[in-house]
Amino acid sequence: MLADARGRASGSGAPAVSPATGAALALIAGLVNASSVAEVGTGAGVSGVWLLRGMRPDGVLTTVDDDGEQHRSARLTFAAAGIPSQRVRLITGRALDVISRLSDGGYDMVVLDADPLELETEIDEAKRLLRIGGALAIPHALGSDTVADPAQRDSVTVAIRAAVAKLASDPAWSAVLLPVGDGLAVALRAADEAAEA
């Protein structure tokens, strides 16, 4: 079932997460006891199935994509996986337009897997969306092995590199880059120092 979905995602130009990355996403969702997850980049529903496997049984996944075809494909994937429709909220629209309207502190986990050029701004939005102790996950954080190579200066590589550096340097995050799949950046939302003072 997920192999078919992975094939549809690849054919549409939105590569799905690897099985190892999916398993890690499910684990993270379980560790934070996620009941509400926001995902940017639907990827034919592959990552969504993994996330829902790790979430609480009554949890709801909100997945955002500007490509309606990804949502049509995701519906097939969710149906094949036996996931009830009330557990998934699909929103079609530009990521930053949509997530800027989601509730402050209303999410246990946020997954960013769409346009790398918007990643830094999406991280700012994720900080607002997550409760303290919530988790941020960014698949493909090694950019097909280009991020670690300082000679690589294309716009996508530079954007991913800057986003990972931003997570590492911001005290609002406790972050790590895991060598899973094509790299998985994971960060826990810490309390703001200013708010604690």
Say what the pLDDT of residue 127 is: 96
For helices 68-80 and 2-11, angle between their N-to-C axes, nearest 10 degrees: 170
CATH of the domain at 121: 3.40.50.150
| Residues 6+ positions from 157 with CB-CB distance below 8 Å | 143, 146, 147, 149
Q: What is the pLDDT along the chain (197 residues), one digit of tens a residue?
A: 566 665 665 566 667 899 999 999 999 999 999 999 999 999 889 999 999 999 999 999 999 999 888 889 999 999 999 999 999 999 999 999 999 999 999 999 999 999 999 999 999 999 999 999 999 999 999 988 888 888 899 999 999 999 999 999 999 999 999 999 999 999 999 987 554 44
Q: Which domain holds residue 68?
A: 2-196
Nearest to residue 182, comparing CAs of 166, 165, 162, 164? 164
- Per the structure, the count of domains in the chain is 1
Locus of tokens 């409760």: 131
Q: How many CB atoms are closer than 10 A to CB 140?
A: 22
